[in-house]
Structure 1
Amino acid sequence: MLVALCPDEQLASLEVADNATLRPIWKVSNPIGPMRRGGWISLGESDEFEVQDISLPVDVPQNIAATAQLTNGHRFGSAFVRDEIPQDMAGTGRVLNPEGKEVAENEFLREVRDEYC
């Protein structure tokens, strides 16, 4: 997943939950170095965070919600169904925008900055 931040924002933590029950299934906090500014985060990989608060379970629900907590206290997130993300997008630098359209990472980041920053 791609965490897109405005220039004056910093990431504090990321929590992933089962969207049906809202039960947290993975949480990482205290990002290291460049990750404070956001970027690509692979589900279950915690190398770019000082703390893994909740380890990812073996059985990940189909419908999950990811919520970013910022250092200023603000939160934002998105929910999605894993099987609705095309497997061939992995590692391509392409993402689904809020309308579900496949776009390049730099286009997505520009859209986020234009609309929210």
Structure 2
Amino acid sequence: MANKIHGDLKTRKLRRKRKMLRRNQLRQKVREQEHVHCPPSPEPIVLRFRPYTGVIHQVAMDRQLDLQHTMAVVEDIFAFILLYIGITGSVSFGYLLTMSPLARTLVQDLGFVTLNFIFNSM
């Protein structure tokens, strides 16, 4: 009786092992297929600001995004900020920064010089 129970446990263990191996092999196959078919993800756009010249340049040249596209993005962000100031009627810089995270990232990326120029020219 005891041997039979022991044998059952042993076969259950072996079955479980085989099942896990089969599952892992299937997962490995799926991973390999996904790796082949999936194209590499595009890198995010990185903009840097040179404070003295006021030139926005792209850091990585190997990306296939032209400068016109990046300038369009920057213009959209500036338009958003000017629209925000026009709607709220507040030119308070701190208030603008606390309200919109987009403006906060803009300040971090492009520097205070450009934004100060916008506020002074208004």
Shorter-chain TM-score bucket reads under 0.3
Question: Normalized against structure 1, the TM-score is what?
Answer: 0.23
Structure in which a larger fraction of residues adopt helix: 2
Structure in which a larger fraction of residues adopt strand: 1
Q: Which has the higher contact order (CA 8 A, sep 6+)?
A: 1
Pick the structure with greater CA Rg: 2
Question: Normalized against structure 2, the TM-score is what?
Answer: 0.22
